[in-house]
Structure 1
């Protein structure tokens, strides 16, 4: 569907698309569903002690229960974002929220590890594409000057959802059993899905003929992704850096309740509450660092990426000290160690909002959801899926504390990737509205947006 000239010009302007009220309603509903999304994802981590005791699972198997969700999210994100960019964001989100909520509820009826893995895979399939489609919807409703901070808040809501998931899982399981936890957290998503029908969608932007053909099939999308990544070095390296930093985040979030239970002897529900506090600090940190990165790039956009690199290195140092000091014979007290873990949790989410804003900055406005889905593919497949599983494998081999001391080293890869991306960001930012090489026609909507 072609975007009318009046709407196209507003899309290009630094203004609200449909007005403040519609924008903030869309933001509130989208962020609420993001919270529920991550409640349903992360509720499993506080149930690890119960599952390990009941089914005698290894840490690798436990980690896979987290990783399988991110794996199916990664596999489904691009097809769903492709569908959403062409058929409508709001209807797609309603279907996704209904699907993942029903899948979460189904987890309470599983009676074996294999059944639970399958149910968790369906949760991820329902959630696939939500982050990228939701980010595109928010980015289109609001002025460009607000996107970095708002997307940081949007993705910070994932931290809030993780806090609630970890906390509620531990509390509900202690009182009614681990199966009940899935049933309780699955219901809110069904209610929010109905309310989301009130959100106003933006009209699909008309593409150039070549870009339209490129995004008409999964195979075409795959080829388009390769071209887009080769065209934009910034996008490629930001995807790598964002994924590497999420390896650190997902490993700490997934295994901290078990670490506190095993190393410090806390009861599972108390360990879940303490771990939830660290996740909450991460949520606060992602908003703080998102605003800081936005401010740093006001005059020189490349400074955003330089600040991100510095924050990743700082998080690495703090987390290695937190988990690795006692392995070196320094033996910090429990209170000191937890304070360092909390500081590391506050720092390690620094990239969550900015990487999404940077990717949206350097892609064509007609395929923002698909562009964000490329980032989601990297983040889920190489970040969120890899972190819990790698930590579980290392834990089986070396012990959980040693595993958590090693995982923050992926922050070094993130910092290096952001430094490389800084070299091309300003150039790619200027080229974002240009057609891909070989496009022979510039869409009318694009001409309006750049008039």
Structure 2
């Protein structure tokens, strides 16, 4: 059976744990499955909005609050909970998180009013807060460095696939069994995976053992690597700026189809889902391309990230200049395929430039930047522009943000090798080799 060193790095050989290749992919599959469960539980609410609105006589603002409380808790708790998971044990933390959000989702199915649902959704957000950042840290710990862009892109794509599945399956369950079973179905899927995960994924086998009390002080120095270089800070910022574009298109595209293609809600939802899937597919394919072309030259991944930014800018800018029609939709899909491609290279940069013992916290920082610079302001500022200029003209301007992202990645590329060399002594601290 083939083996490879877990989390091995050309720059920093941060682990000597040998993991069977088959077992590594089992770890990835289970961790990826829980990420899909995460987003299914988060987004199933959207599928039952009309039913809740009718049954409980809710306003649109109340419905928005039920959705927004999850994102709020994720934003507030991602960093501290990821730091705690790095100290307490990543595998143990992932199981606890998945159990909590699944039980909270089950609580949603039992809610009798808005207040009950709000409390349940609050705990869904608490449970999901750090899963993405800690989950990708676990995945990277069992694979070699040259696959980091592929794995990061593929793992982040799970959020998009989970969102689509949550809304689609939730709608089907709600239509045939009632909205309570939509939540219950997501909860049962999550609880099943959460029960299997610790039976298969063992901290001792993947090198993610919890730190002892005596090691706590030793983690303070590695924590400095989170912001110790210009390159890693640029990775955070560049990734967030590029997601600004993707988030804006994904959130507002159903409205665009409704206003300019005169599609009904169901039709617009299907076409928008295809666009979202194009973005998720792009995360995977662009990550694979980055690893294949840049295996022996990590800084080339930054060059590819710059290329993804500029190409997506050109495609989306041109697409939204066209009249509504099939050609426009195809070019938008291609633009989204490339627009999300920076996720893999940015994740690889963060992993390469931060100490392996704080990778969960490092990816929490990346998640925080993605939310503060991209996922939150992108949809909001697009709405502001749409109020003033019209949604079609807003979409013509939004792709230009990718130029700013490209400039940030370009700055990172200029300093990458020097930052790697300067951080070498810090990265060696606590190295088990």
Q: Could you state the TM-score of these two structures normalised by the residue count of structure 1?
A: 0.80
Deviation at 1:25, TM superposition (A): 1.6
Q: Cα 1:174–1:345, aligned 2, differ >3 Å: closer, same or farther? A: farther
Deviation at 1:236, TM superposition (A): 0.4
Q: 1:104 maps to what in 2?
A: 105
Per-residue CA shift, 1:330-388, capped at 9, x if unaligned? 5242x222212211221111012221121011111221212222112212333223333
1:319, 1:408 within 8 Å by CA — same for their partners in 2? yes
Which consecutive unaligned segments of at least 5 residues does structure 2 have?
A: none
1:248, 1:407 within 8 Å by CA — same for their partners in 2? yes
Deviation at 1:268, TM superposition (A): 2.8
Aligned Cα RMSD in Å?
A: 3.6
Stretch moving more, 399-408 or 366-375: 399-408
Per-residue CA shift, 1:111-130, capped at 9, x if unaligned? 45x87666544333211111
Deviation at 1:55, TM superposition (A): 4.8
Q: Cα 1:57–1:233, aligned 2, differ >3 Å: closer, same or farther? A: same
Structure 1 residue 424 corresponds to structure 2 residue 415: yes
1:361, 1:432 within 8 Å by CA — same for their partners in 2? no
Stretch moving more, 38-47 or 415-424: 38-47
2:8, 2:15 within 8 Å by CA — same for their partners in 1? no
Partner SS state of residue 18, structure 1: strand
Deviation at 1:424, TM superposition (A): 1.6
The 5 Å alignment of 1:137-152 reads 137-152=138-153
Q: Cα 1:215–1:251, aligned 2, differ >3 Å: closer, same or farther? A: farther
Q: 2:379 maps to what in 1?
A: 388
State the alpha-carbon separation in 2 of the partners of residues 28 and 280 from structure 1. Answer: 19
Which consecutive unaligned segments of at least 5 residues does structure 1 have?
A: 1-5, 437-441
Q: 2:244 maps to what in 1?
A: 247
State the alpha-carbon separation in 2 of the partners of residues 416 and 89 from structure 1. Answer: 35
Deviation at 1:174, TM superposition (A): 5.6
Q: Could you state the TM-score of these two structures normalised by the residue count of structure 2?
A: 0.83
2:107, 2:120 within 8 Å by CA — same for their partners in 1? yes
Partner SS state of residue 157, structure 1: helix
1:156, 1:352 within 8 Å by CA — same for their partners in 2? no
Deviation at 1:50, TM superposition (A): 7.2
Higher relative contact order (CA 8 A, sep 6+): 1
The 5 Å alignment of 1:223-302 reads 227-228=224-225, 230-302=227-299
Select 1:57's aligned residue among 57, 60, 75.
60
Deviation at 1:414, TM superposition (A): 1.5
Partner SS state of residue 266, structure 1: coil
Q: Cα 1:232–1:386, aligned 2, differ >3 Å: closer, same or farther? A: same
Structure 1 residue 367 corresponds to structure 2 residue 368: no
Q: 1:351 maps to what in 2?
A: 342
Partner SS state of residue 19, structure 2: coil
State the alpha-carbon separation in 2 of the partners of residues 359 and 243 from structure 1. Answer: 13
Q: 1:123 maps to what in 2?
A: 124
Partner SS state of residue 435, structure 1: helix
1:239, 1:378 within 8 Å by CA — same for their partners in 2? yes
Structure 1 residue 415 corresponds to structure 2 residue 406: yes
State the alpha-carbon separation in 2 of the partners of residues 351 and 135 from structure 1. Answer: 16
Deviation at 1:311, TM superposition (A): 0.9
1:242, 1:379 within 8 Å by CA — same for their partners in 2? yes
Per-residue CA shift, 1:266-307, capped at 9, x if unaligned? 333332222221122222211111122223433432221121
State the alpha-carbon separation in 1 of the partners of residues 93 and 333 from structure 2. Answer: 37
1:166, 1:276 within 8 Å by CA — same for their partners in 2? no
Q: 1:200 maps to what in 2?
A: 202
Deviation at 1:136, TM superposition (A): 1.2
